[in-house]
A and B are shown apart, each in its own frame.
Chain A
Amino acid sequence: MSAPRVLPRLDSENRFFWTSGAEGHLRLLRCQECLTFIHPPRPVCRHCLSDKVAPEIVAGTGTIDTYTVNYQQWQPGLEVPYVIARVAIDGAPGVFLTTNIVGCAVEAVEIGDRVRVRFEQQGEIYLPLFEKIA
């Protein structure tokens, strides 16, 4: 995908998520009261409404819940095809990340595949992409 990615605007709520890859870790927000993971990150727990929430490191592995192979060139320079997937994150029940599956042929991706995070750096932002676990 040679075309530059459109990047997120960082703010006080999402900065930890998008910069966590600098330390090589995937972090998700977690309620410190009821231990529910909260994604997208917001300063309140959607389960118990506590405002005691904090980022925690998660394993960085997961399972492909579903995916699609995109063939449409949405903008000039975008290299196709590529895989867009929804990954269920290990240790964080109910949290899914939309991502790209990289490092393998698009035909090699299946629902249920085990994957591991691989960050792609764009300045201060580290995009959590995923690759198959061999």
Chain B
Amino acid sequence: MRAADAYITGIGQSEVGVRLQRSPLLLTVDAIKEALTEAGLAIAQIDGVSTYPGRSAAYLGFSPIGADELIDALGIRARWHLGSLEMSSQLGAVAAAAMAVRTGQARHVVCYRTVYEAAAMSRPEEYPPLRRDRVDGYSQWLTPFNAFSAANWTAQYAMRHVKRYGLTREQLAQIALTDRVNALLNPRALVREPLTMEQYLCARMISTPLCLYDCDRYTDASTVLIVSAGSAIDEVQCVPIRIAAMAGTVERHSWDQAEWMACYATGADLWKSTDYKPSDVDTVQLYDGFSFQAIAWLEALGFCAVGEGGRYVEGGRRIALDGELPLNTFGGQLGAGRLHGFGFAHEAVVQLRGLGGKRQIAGDPKIAPAAGRSRPPCCSRGIDAGAAEPDRSQERARTRPQWHHGDRLGCAGTAARASPASPVSESDPFHVTRDHA
């Protein structure tokens, strides 16, 4: 154990569904209780809170529960807290917590992302949609041209890959198809029907080359990761996962002035802060709110050359659960739900602990990057990347250093669990309504 390091200890997730009636605060509490139970911690031991993006007053469904409210509602004595939109990505909240524990400002930080967009759409009187007569900030350069959605913005980066590097729809489809296959093995996944290549190719276009199945769907859920100080690990019962590296590099905070999505600079920087390299990685959990983002991350992290992402995933074998680089083993956002970044980090921990059940990858995984949003941080920050590995020194003695598990690369992303009580159909809202990536 390294006292100076930060570890992910308890993880938790609420029910995952659409149009849930349970309040977003209670969903958050459900996830926190699960994480506390796993870690063997009591709420009184929590002395830090970190969340992305904080309470989103103009559009409550996007983020209804801020750090201020959570602290007050749960009686947390917070020595350090943060709730902000202006960070590299959703997983920036985890990166910030890691810095807090490493600098002694807190010992155990609850990090969470609570989404309530599907419920909000069904209860607009309670959760009013974003209304704007005029746009300013970054939106003014996009919205007046009817480029309403991150689907449009991401599609332009994807189209460049189509034209410049020969990315095909069949290659892009492998992200959605892989996600669906894996989601079928995840009892908490939001989408529980298989998807065929034929269905994918026949789906209606949203914004070329992205079709309906390239877009995630609004989801109601809360996902929690507890970040603990290395010096406080003896208070924890579960296998701690060391955060081995983090990155979140931004060059242009803009969707249209950036030559490349921010994941490329971030991916390169991540490996500079660790001795691990891409060939050490056992599984990757990469943001795929729009499928192309996962392709970009594979390139950005150096698993293949820039422009080769399509050919890298072609046929789907390589990224399957039993392939050489299992991708989004919980179903990604396209399968597990739009948990918005935190799902990827949650799943990295699950896999590194060997607790994936039917979706657990073979062997003894040691390094698992998790990535949040990949695009230019614009309406939503940039990227974070991190690397995590498990520390089983308390569990069993090993002759080798005890770092197993995941490197997490963060950007954006979410994992979710689906409730059988809230089945999702193809008619449910995909993330193809306006605004918010």
Mask of B241-282 contacts with A, CB within 8 angstroms, 1/0: 000000000000011110000000000000000000000000
Task: Say how far A101's CB is from chain B's closest CB, in angstroms.
Answer: 10
Residue contact A82 to B204, C-beta cutoff 8 Å? no
In the complex, residue of chain B having the shortest beta-carbon distance to the beta carbon of A95 = B257
Answer whether residue B143 sits at the interface, using C-beta atoms and an 8 A cutoff.
Answer: yes
Neighbour of B156 across the interface among A40, A67, A74, CB < 8 A: A67
A9's contact among B134, B206, B257, by CB below 8 Å, is which? Answer: B134
Distance from B274 Cβ to chain A, minimum over Cβ atoms (Å)? 31
Given A7-B134, A75-B434, A98-B142 contact (CB < 8 Å):
yes
Q: B residues 142-180 with Cβ under 8 Å of A?
A: 142-149, 151-152, 155-160, 163-164
Which listed residue (B140, B141, B151, B163) contacts A72, Cβ 8 A?
A: B151
Interface string of A80-123 (1 = CB under 8 A from B): 00101110000000111111100000000011000000000000
A69 adjacent to B207 (CB under 8 Å): yes
Q: A8-B136, A66-B157, A84-B156 are in contact. Are A71 and B146 (CB under 8 A)?
A: no
Q: Do B140 and A9 touch across chains, with their CB atoms under 8 A apart? A: yes
Within A1-47, the residues touching B (CB, 8 Å) are: 1, 5-9, 11, 14, 39-40
A92 CB to nearest B CB, Å: 11
Q: Report the minimal beta-carbon distance from B82 to chain A, rounded to whole angstroms.
A: 27
- In the complex, what residue of chain B is closest to A68 when comparing beta carbons? B155
Cβ of B205 within 8 Å of any chain A Cβ, yes or no, is: yes
Please tell me which one of the listed residues B141, B148, B157, B163 contacts residue A74 in the complex, with CB atoms under 8 A apart.
Answer: B148
Contact with B along A40-84 (1 / 0, CB 8 A): 100000000000000000000000011111111011001000101
When A6-B134, A94-B257 are in contact, do A82 and B144 touch as well, CB less than 8 Å?
no
Task: Write the chain A residue with the least CB distance to B156.
Answer: A66
Q: How far is the CA of A8 from the CA of B143 in the complex (A)?
A: 8
Task: Tell whether, in the assembled complex, residue B141 and residue A66 are in contact, meaning their CB atoms are under 8 Å apart.
Answer: no
Residue of B nearest to A82 (CB): B146
For chain B, the count of residues having a C-beta within 8 Å of the partner chain is 40
Q: Which residues of B contact A66 (CB under 8 A)?
A: 156-157, 159-160, 163
Contact B134 A84 (CB under 8 A): no
Contact A74 B254 (CB under 8 A): no
CB distance from A13 to the nearest CB of B (A): 10
In contact, B205 and A69 (Cβ under 8 angstroms): yes
Q: Are B152 and A7 in contact (CB under 8 A)?
A: no
Contact of B257 among A5, A78, A96, A127 (CB under 8 A): A96
Report the nearest A residue to B136, measured CB to CB. A9
Please tell me which one of the listed residues A8, A68, A86, A96 contacts residue B207 in the complex, with CB atoms under 8 A apart: A68
Query: Does any Cβ of A come within 8 Å of B70's Cβ?
Result: no
Q: How far is the CB of A114 from chain B (nearest CB, A)?
A: 16
Tell whether B132 is near chain A: CB-to-CB under 8 Å: yes
Cβ–Cβ < 8 Å partners of B232 in chain A: none
Contact (A86, B156) CB under 8 Å given A7-B135, A8-B134, A72-B151: yes
Q: Shortest beta-carbon distance, B164 to chain A, in Å?
A: 8
What would be 12 A-B contacts, judged by CB atoms less than 8 Å apart?
A8-B140, A39-B257, A65-B160, A68-B155, A68-B156, A69-B205, A70-B206, A74-B148, A74-B149, A82-B146, A84-B145, A111-B163
Residues of A within 8 A of B (CB): 1, 5-9, 11, 14, 39-40, 65-72, 74-75, 78, 82, 84-86, 94-100, 110-111, 127, 129
Query: Top 3 A-B pairs ranked by shortest CB distance?
Result: A8-B140, A68-B155, A9-B134
Given A6-B144, A70-B146, 9 more contacts at CB 8 Å?
A: A14-B140, A65-B160, A68-B158, A71-B204, A71-B205, A71-B206, A98-B141, A98-B255, A111-B164
